[in-house]
Structure 1
Amino acid sequence: MTKRLKSLLALTALATAALGASAQTVTLKLHHFLPAGSYAQTMFIKPWCDKIAADSGDKMKCQIYPSMQLGGTPPQLFDQVKDGVVDIVWVLPGYMAGRFPLSEVFELPFMMQSPEGTSKALWDFVEQNPNVAAEFKDVKLLALHVHGDGVFHMTKKPITTLADLKGLKVRAPTRQTNKLLAALGATPVAMPVPQVSEALSKSVIDGALVPYEVVPAVKIQELAKFHSETDPAEPAIYTSTFMFAMNKGKYDSLPADLKKVIDANSGQSLAGTIGKAFLAADQAGKKLTEKNAHNVIPAAELQGWKKIGEQITDAWVVDVTAKGADGKKLLADAKALIAKHAVK
């Protein structure tokens, strides 16, 4: 064998090995709506991607596309993953009003106790109720979770009593929170988080009801001057539900060893981990607002708010029951699971 032939054979072997390694690596396109520097990406999405890469021996990795870089709007993310335009998405079901009415029970007023425990409760709730699980039948669920306490971030004045909300234009993320704000006397303005920064800067809204976790993603610390929290001893005024979901066809196409990696990094445990990360993100986000004014709406004041919130909850029960579900049972199930998983 000539020296030239040996060299050619060696190069061919290296090229074949490289092609084989490339063919064995699965790259998952992961699409979401917040910036790359958001706490959601740095404290949850990227660590999850790093974990599946490590667990798979680098046979599987993510290509993360933040800020809707692949096109579309946040409410379109669910259809993008359902239709296989992308492989994984992170999105709020509440952005698609009316498509997930039963799991919406977790977005009712004063339900959430802790993001870690309530996230576990949400996962169990969907697992244990087939009619709720049917809302997510078109995707492979990796996790469901909630964020921490909602906070009023206002531009002109703090919220100390119910009267302070009257007539103010306040952003809210979901239809149940919009209903609550309207019942409390505010003018609700529905919009996804990425639109909040411009809306605040142009005075389209007087404030936003979001958790501290969102603060750096939309520069709330620069645009709002007053931050009004509810008494931490009380359930949160609201929370939003999120889904971390994978295209079913993509999951089904994975070899058994990579499916095992996905399964090991999905489910109730991941839900709780994300909830815990969002609580830490709230603490980090609050630090960015230190130079602004803060206040706590006391429990005594909130009792009247909770009575108004009960009207929203009662209306939800009537609505889903009229559509064939057992609203009272679903509400009771959700409350029981939240209590069961409450973080002491």
Structure 2
Amino acid sequence: MYTRTLAALALSASFAFPSAAADVELTLSHWVPGTHPLQVTGMEPWAESIKEASNGRIQINIFPASQLGAAGDHYDMARDGIVDIGFINPGYQPGRFPILAAAEIPFLFADARGGLRALTEWYDQYADLEMGDTYFCMAISHDPGTIHSKEPVIVPEDIRGKNVRPANATEARFVAMLGGASVQVPAGEMREVLARGTADMTQSPWNSLYTFGANDVVFHHLDMPFYYSINAFIFNKGTVDGLSAEDRKVIDDHCTPEWAERIASGWTDAEAAGRDKIASDSAHTLHVPTAAQVQLWKDAAAPLTDEWRTAVSGRGHDADAIWNSLIDTLKKYDAYAG
């Protein structure tokens, strides 16, 4: 029914529920620390709920911190059955998932919680077009991230000539449009590139600076909601297709817009609290842009939407219909910033 690697069998320190009564064991792999709110307040309660709803038949064993593979490999790991469930950042694979990349365009979401419901509901219509070799479960994100730098960054011109660790492929293109150079590495490597001087700044949600140890390298922060980095949970298709009808319903019932909000709520709250933590530290400076400066950023980002339309149309999809559907769904949940 499912595939498990020898590496997974060997990692006894990973999070797991008692397995005595389980008929189906599933491996969930991700790349953030095991202490991250996404696991502690998200994945673990989700896995427990699945276990309870299946009367103990389904057990999910969680392997954090890239134990089973690098962050950018998690889609293929789930597709190929190396793991049963993968936590992915599609933006780590530029150009591979152009439809979902619409949600990476800056200044789109007004609210994280409603936005997560909208994101999952919207993308569920289109997931088979670019993730059809897996079972798409839900899309999630964090509280909005921004730019954290060694020197003040307040307007788009401040990016010119600088090296930036972007959050995803869309933000990397934005950096290039502004005359900067991207140093594209996963979140877990941002401190290293900043400390070495390879990058002058990073994009990150607030508390992730502490999670990944970059809070003692960058001390200037653009205090505005800038972007969302889109993530998703996907299953190996064969794993889901091989479940009994009863167990398949349990999984379907746990892959919903409501669960997207629930599984990410602790993460969004923790990231939001990180801003207050940084603001209270005298070593750090928050730079609040004026309304005119915010508009400069929005104007600079506008071409990203046209670029997205071209990329999606080039794959034979109706870009206008997909974009309008995203906006309408965000509006449905009062989560559109436009």
Output the TM-score relative to the length of structure 1: 0.85
Name the count of aligned residue pairs: 315
Partners of 2:117 and 2:295 in 1: CA distance: 27
**In the alignment, which residue of structure 2 is the partner of 1:57?**
55
Displacement of 1:343 in angstroms is 4.9
Q: Is 1:133 aligned to 2:128, yes or no?
A: yes
Q: CA deviation at 1:275?
A: 4.4
Deviation at 1:299, TM superposition (A): 2.6
Contact preservation (8 Å) 2:71, 2:186: yes
Residues in 2 aligned to 1:255 and 1:304: alpha-carbon distance in whole angstroms: 54
Please give the residue correspondences for 1:1-344 in structure 2 after superposition, counting only pairs within 5 Å: 22=20, 24-70=22-68, 72-129=69-126, 132-154=127-149, 156-230=150-224, 236-289=225-278, 290-291=280-281, 292-343=284-335
Cα 1:191/1:178, change in 2 over 3 Å? same
Q: State the shift of 1:337 in Å.
A: 1.4
1:320 deviates by 2.1
- For 2:53 and 2:326, how far apart are their aligned partners in 1? 33
Q: Distance in 1 between matches of 2:48 and 2:217?
A: 34
Structure 2 residues without counterparts, runs of 5 or longer: 1-18
Shift of 1:242: 1.0
Cα 1:48–1:298 change in 2 (3 A) is farther
| Secondary structure at the counterpart of residue 148 of structure 1 | coil
Matched residue type, 1:27: E
CA distance in 2, matches of 1:316, 1:114: 22
Query: Matches of 1:62 and 1:275 in 2, distance apart?
Result: 18
Give a deviation string over 1:94-150, Cα, whole Å, max 9, x none: 112111111211111221222222222222222334xx5321211122211222212
The AA in structure 2 aligned to 1:77 is H
The alpha carbon displacement at 1:33 in A equals: 0.8
Which piece of structure 1 moves more, 94-103 or 178-187? Answer: 178-187
* TM-score, reference length from structure 2: 0.86
CA contact (8 A) 2:143 2:269 kept: no
Q: Could you say which structure has the larger radius of gyration?
A: 1
- Say which SS state the counterpart of residue 223 (structure 2) adopts: strand
Contact 2:119/2:139 (8 A) holds in 1: yes
Distance, in Å, in 2 between the alignment partners of 1:185 and 1:297 is 20
Aligned CA-pair RMSD: 2.1
Contact map agreement 1:153 1:220 (CA 8 A) in 2: no
CA distance in 2, matches of 1:213, 1:274: 17
Deviates more, 1:56-65 or 1:174-183: 56-65
> Matched residues in 1 for 2:216 and 2:59: separation?
36
